[in-house]
């Protein structure tokens, strides 16, 4: 190895490689959330309501909507092996296709042909107070950021380690304090390392180097023209994660580099309370209808566009910060992964195995406390990679000094190799090692990256992003339709759909009180986060 692994990483891997603790590696949980637009046969956005046969978007545990009625979100149960979660994601896709008729699922992160802003349908969750506040939140997103940006799709990867691993590490390292606190701060340490190294994920897995010209709605840009309907950057990896995608000036500096969970929660709590003049001008109601939850920098905590989040499963009506304050960090959610247009599910097992090794490395490796200088460096490295990641000779910054992206990437892979080896030893196979070899090939040969392959495919389709994306969406739809669910699978999803519709109906029939008061109560809880205030 060019750079030996740190003493801390060596000690922790040695501990977990022991007979007593290795089985714990199989007890963490993994889950995937996949977003995808419903489109018509011509590749245009389908504007019909969420199909009732798929169940209630409000209460269904696996099939919902994100921003728009047209933007489906498939959610797998949390599983101890990501391969199981992927199988369940496949089953959701196959069932969805039995109810979509002539519609298809869009194969890209960047949107299909979109109608006017006014015509893009905001997701509807019924007339219950919970359903209405979800809808009002999305009205606010439309006013703040525009509807087109909200039609971008991604893959969210949920990851946790067994709580017994954290207990073992705390005991072995003689770290005093509450177990919940130790676990939470260990996940925050993971997040610090993720921010240091997540540019590597953008290089290896970014798959959105181009987009439809119409997506920008006339906004100024510095993209190059590939064809009349397509803009791109020649060395881009993920325009979705650039300032053309999920970015917002109001959120600049909102959550500065943080070293503790308390700092993170304090930043979010302040942002939900801090008014923002442009949003104040909009107001919360128009003609008696709610158009946003509040006039703060954030309506709710989840409006913060983070590449990774500390998470805790929330209870009905509970705010995310309330859950974190009360019960600590349970898992992390990686939010920067593009939909891979060459994969039916948008992500495959090989990519997932690498993510598991990468995240375990981030969790076990030394994670020094951070500061604004390093935070600025991390943001710049990420921004450079999403726009110029495959540029020959591209340098990033590490501790204020230039370092070649490929060289740093190969060095990181060398440090992750023993982590992958440990995961393979636990499983008794070599899937993680094989994935590591694939990623090394991408660093040595940029033409093998998904972003390069996407550009090659677009060029092969007369330089048209839309033509390539439609062709790919049709091909993937045919694959799913060729493998319809069996009767048992159909019955399972039909039961879920029926149950979810009944649950929504029950909520609407039995709720009491006034929606205005419901929002007032919801907003008032942002000022009661005493444990989060610094």
CA distance linking residue 518 with residue 498, whole number of Å: 27
Q: Are 315 and 330 in contact (CB under 8 A)?
A: no
What stretch of H or E contains 74? strand 71-75
Q: pLDDT (tens digit, 9 = 90+) per residue, 229-261? A: 999 999 999 999 998 875 556 677 788 999 999
- Is residue 37 classed as helix, strand or coil in its secondary structure? strand
CA distance linking residue 380 with residue 291, whole number of Å: 35
Residue 442 falls inside a structural domain? yes
The number of distinct structural domains making up the chain is: 1
Residue 131 falls inside a structural domain? yes
Q: What is the pLDDT of residue 250?
A: 66
Domain that holds residue 65: 7-532
Q: What is the pLDDT of residue 249?
A: 62
Nearest to 243 by CA among 390, 403, 380, 106: 380
Q: Are 213 and 230 in contact (CB under 8 A)?
A: yes
CA distance linking residue 333 with residue 308, whole number of Å: 5
Residue 32 falls inside a structural domain? yes
Q: What is the pLDDT of residue 255?
A: 86
Q: What is the pLDDT of residue 530?
A: 40
Residue with tokens 């519709």, as numbered in its chain: 501
Nearest to 386 by CA among 256, 196, 154, 210: 210
- Kindly report the number of other CB atoms within 10 A of residue 345's CB atom: 23
Q: What is the pLDDT of residue 1?
A: 40
Q: Are 99 and 51 in contact (CB under 8 A)?
A: yes
Residue 508 falls inside a structural domain? yes
Q: What is the pLDDT of residue 473?
A: 98
CA distance linking residue 156 with residue 119, whole number of Å: 27
pLDDT < 50 regions, the chain: 1-2, 527-530, 532-534
187 CB-contact burial (10 Å; exposed 0-12 / middle 13-18 / buried 19+): buried
Q: Are 122 and 67 in contact (CB under 8 A)?
A: yes
User: Does the model's pTM come out above 0.75?
Assistant: yes
Q: What is the pLDDT of residue 216?
A: 93
- Concatenating the DSSP letter of every residue in 419-460 gives HHHHHHHHHTS-HHHHHHHHHHHHHH-GGGSHHHHHHHHHHH
What CATH number does residue 483 fall under? Answer: 3.30.590.20
Tokens read off for 162:
């067994």
Residue 502 falls inside a structural domain? yes
Residue 53 falls inside a structural domain? yes
CA distance linking residue 59 with residue 41, whole number of Å: 29
Residue 2 falls inside a structural domain? no
Reported as half-sphere exposure (CB side, CA atoms, 13 A), residue 283 has a value of: 6
Residue 149 falls inside a structural domain? yes
Q: Are 444 and 406 in contact (CB under 8 A)?
A: yes
Q: What is the pLDDT of residue 19?
A: 94
Q: What is the pLDDT of residue 94?
A: 98
122's torsion region: left (phi>0), alpha (psi -120 to 50) or beta? Answer: beta
């Amino acid at each position: 190895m060019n750079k030996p692994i740190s003493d801390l990483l060596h000690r922790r891997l040695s501990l977990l490689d022991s007979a007593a603790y290795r089985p714990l590696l199989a007890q963490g949980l993994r889950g995937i959330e996949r977003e995808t637009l419903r489109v018509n046969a011509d590749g245009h956005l389908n504007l019909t309501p969420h199909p009732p046969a798929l169940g209630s978007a409000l209460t269904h545990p696996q099939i919902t909507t994100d921003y728009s009625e047209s933007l489906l979100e498939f959610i797998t149960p949390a599983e101890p092996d990501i391969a199981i979660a992927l199988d369940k994601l496949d089953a959701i896709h196959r069932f969805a296709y039995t109810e979509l008729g002539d519609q298809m699922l869009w194969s890209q992160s960047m949107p299909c042909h979109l109608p006017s802003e006014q015509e893009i349908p905001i997701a509807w969750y019924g007339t219950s107070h919970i359903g209405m506040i979800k809808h009002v939140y999305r009205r606010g997103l439309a006013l703040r950021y525009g509807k087109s940006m909200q039609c971008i799709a991604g893959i969210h990867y949920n990851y946790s380690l067994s709580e017994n691993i954290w207990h073992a590490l705390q005991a072995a390292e003689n770290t005093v304090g509450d177990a919940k606190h130790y676990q939470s701060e260990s996940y925050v340490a993971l997040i610090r390392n993720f921010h240091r190294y997540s540019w590597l994920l953008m290089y290896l897995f970014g798959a959105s180097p181009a987009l439809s010209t119409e997506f920008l709605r006339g906004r100024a840009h510095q993209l190059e023209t590939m064809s009349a309907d397509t803009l791109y950057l020649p060395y881009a990896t993920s325009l979705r994660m650039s300032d053309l995608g999920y970015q917002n000036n109001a959120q600049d500096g909102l959550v500065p580099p943080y070293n503790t969970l308390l700092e993170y929660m304090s930043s979010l709590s302040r942002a939900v309370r801090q008014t923002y003049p442009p949003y104040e001008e909009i107001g919360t109601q128009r003609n008696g209808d709610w158009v946003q939850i509040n006039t703060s920098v954030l309506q709710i905590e989840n409006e913060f566009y983070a590449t990774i989040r500390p998470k805790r499963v929330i209870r009905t009506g509970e705010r995310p910060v309330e859950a974190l304050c009360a019960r600590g960090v349970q898992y992390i959610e990686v939010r920067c992964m593009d939909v891979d247009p060459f994969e039916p599910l948008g992500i495959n097992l090989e990519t997932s195995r690498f993510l598991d090794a990468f995240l375990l490395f981030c969790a076990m490796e030394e994670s020094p406390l951070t500061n604004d200088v390093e935070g600025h460096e991390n943001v710049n490295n990420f921004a450079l990679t999403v726009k110029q990641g495959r540029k020959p000779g591209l340098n990033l910054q590490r501790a204020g000094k230039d370092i070649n992206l490929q060289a740093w990437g190969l060095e990181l892979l060398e440090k992750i190799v023993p982590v992958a080896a440990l995961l393979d030893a636990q499983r008794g196979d070599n899937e993680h090692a094989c994935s590591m070899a694939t990623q090394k090939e991408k660093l040595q040969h940029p033409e093998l990256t998904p972003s390069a392959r996407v550009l090659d495919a677009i060029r092969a389709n007369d330089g048209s992003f839309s033509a390539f994306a439609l062709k790919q969406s049709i091909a993937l739809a045919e694959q799913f339709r060729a493998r319809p669910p069996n009767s048992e699978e159909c019955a399972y999803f039909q039961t879920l759909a029926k149950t979810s519709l009944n649950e929504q109906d029950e909520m609407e029939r039995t709720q009491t009180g006034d929606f205005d008061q419901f929002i007032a109560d919801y907003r008032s809880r942002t000022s009661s986060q005493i444990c989060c205030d610094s």
